[in-house]
Structure 1
Amino acid sequence: MRKKQLIIITITTLLFMSFISVVAFAKIKADSAPDFVLKSTSGKNVRLSELKGRIVMLNFWATWCGPCAEEIPHLNELHESLDPYDFELLGINLDEDQSKAIHLANKLEVNFPVLFDTEKDVSKSFDIKAMPTTIIIDRAGKIRHVNRGFKKGYIEKYHRQIQALRKEG
């Protein structure tokens, strides 16, 4: 009898924790993206709120992250394939040493703006817990998709997510 109660309590607890996680994740996705200003490799400041009206993809990465380096060439292709009129891809690097990020970005021939979050304030405001993390923000400035990690097929998934947002108008 006692074993049965323990199993029921365990299952109930797991279901409750799963529900809490889903609700928390849904809340993150429904929120407005926190505004930020970060310096880019060109030396210019980029403010997220100035991109309102466009679909924005934020890709959080670091030089020590193998999957990040693997993903960047695919992001280059995605960036080239989409109309810059209504889409912006921003790479947000979390390295403390900007020179490492610049070196890797040059080596991988990154064709989209790279911004520096050396203090990690922006990554904290977006609750970045894994890298790479790619966030897609709609034209109204709402977080619509959060993609953690990188696997084969993710670029196609990003493309579908962006195209769906384009159809919304």
Structure 2
Amino acid sequence: MMKKFLLILLVLCSLHISAQEVEVIRFADLQKKILYTEAPLTVFNFWATWCGPCIKELPHFDAIETESDQVKVYLVSIDFQSELDRVKKFVVKKSLKSDVLFLNEKDPDSYMGKVSQEWSGAIPATLFVTDLGKTYFHEKAFTKEELEKTIKKYLN
């Protein structure tokens, strides 16, 4: 009985340790993260669990932060407000390491133009912000090679 209890406890602890937290955030708080970058280059990748191209490129963004100490990555979910549990399960299933933010806003039109005037509303979309406050916006899916090249360009 005690062995069974310890085994269950060990499994639960390992799940908790490996599970990435999803921070629920309002746009005003996201704006602060955009304005006050933490690294020479901060990347905000906007995605959703229902977006095939987003899912395909997520591992590339997730790998960047672990490979470079000059880049901070935020994976910003714009899934519908009712899908927070789905996003949490997805993050655990995919073992995402980057900070995942769940943008808790009802109306995408209220913030998209504030992220970039270039944003038509399509995803995936990515905002790159240098530590000097220069921003670059891309409304496209990245291959691993394209993302690495883009990051090198913006770091220089």
Contact 2:41–2:128 (8 Å) recurs in 1 = yes
Percent of counterpart pairs with the same letter? 22
Q: Distance in 1 between matches of 2:39 and 2:132?
A: 6
Q: Number of residues paired by the alignment?
A: 123
Which residue of the partner structure matches residue 65 of structure 2? 79
How far did 1:130 drift?
1.0
Q: Among residues 143, 154, 164, which one is paired with 2:153 in the alignment? A: 164
Contact 2:60–2:147 (8 Å) recurs in 1 = no
- C-alpha distance after superposition, 1:60-101 (max 9, x if no partner): 001111111111122222222111xx3111111111222111
Which residue of the partner structure matches residue 51 of structure 1? 37
Which residue of the partner structure matches residue 89 of structure 1? 73
Contact 2:23–2:102 (8 Å) recurs in 1 = no
Which residue of the partner structure matches residue 3 of structure 2? none
Query: What is the letter of the counterpart of residue 143 of structure 1?
Result: T
How far did 1:56 drift?
0.9
Cα distance change on mapping 1:163 and 1:134 into 2, 3 Å: same
How far did 1:54 drift?
2.5
For structure 1, the residue ranges without an aligned partner over 5 or more in a row are: 1-39
1:41 aligns with 2:32: no
Q: Distance in 2 between matches of 1:155 and 1:122?
A: 28
Q: CA RMSD in A?
A: 2.4
Q: Among residues 138, 142, 153, which one is paired with 1:147 in the alignment? A: 138
Cα distance change on mapping 1:78 and 1:52 into 2, 3 Å: closer
Tell me which stretches of 4 or more aligned residues in structure 1 moved more than 4 Å: 42-46
Q: Distance in 2 between matches of 1:156 and 1:112?
A: 19
Q: Distance in 2 between matches of 1:50 and 1:136?
A: 13
Normalized against structure 1, the TM-score is what? 0.62
Normalized against structure 2, the TM-score is what? 0.67
Q: Distance in 2 between matches of 1:69 and 1:82?
A: 21
